[in-house]
Amino acid sequence: MMRIRPFLLALAAAALFGAATPFSKSLLADLSPFQLSGLLYLGAAAGVLPIALRGRGLLRPWAMDTRTRRLLLGAVIFGGIVGPVLMLFGLRMAAAASVALWLNLEAVATALLGVWVFRDHLGRNGWIGAAGILLASVLLSWGQGAAGWQAGLLVAGACVCWGLDNHMTALIDGIT
């Protein structure tokens, strides 16, 4: 019998992810991208901490080897600081719907970084999918003028940061 709970959790996660961009756009009326980024990650930490404490415990940076500490630091800087701030600056300049669609560039950034930096293999269908997402993102920016292009580039920069974060966390023992 199919277990329904994992399906419902995945559905809830997707709904919350989809709602985050328009909700963040409304908060940017009163907060700077730096303030909102900090609040978003503070909220995420508050949600994850009880689960982490109940599980096998937290990773302790002082007990990690140097390579793992560097990967974790890179993931925190790119995925937890630079990426969100770039995305929020882009969101400040463009419609929430456009930014939500541009966030699909994270898949492209992760795949291309995997090929070019981490020597992963990307098959023909992967290249076609990446090209389709990239083309759709360019077409989305096309009619929005200079502000649309600037916002799109900021969000693309955020997606590159999250692509780096994805690869760095994949290389950390005990996380994946």
The domain segmentation of the chain, as residue ranges, is 17-57+86-170
Helix (H, G, I), strand (E, B) or coil at 79: helix
pLDDT of the residue at 85: 97
pLDDT in tens, 37-94: 999 889 888 988 887 777 665 666 667 788 888 998 999 999 999 999 999 999 999 9
pLDDT in tens, 102-119: 999 999 999 999 999 988
pTM: 0.85
Length of the chain: 176
Inform me whether the pLDDT recorded for 172 exceeds 90: no
Nearest 5°: CA angle at 77, between 41 and 114?
110
State the CB neighbour count (10 A cutoff) for residue 68.
17
Inform me whether the pLDDT recorded for 9 exceeds 80: yes
- Burial (0-12, 13-18, 19+ Cβ within 10 Å), 107: middle
pLDDT of the residue at 93: 94
Can you say how many angstroms the Cα of residue 128 is from the centroid of all Cα atoms in its chain? 22
pLDDT of the residue at 135: 93
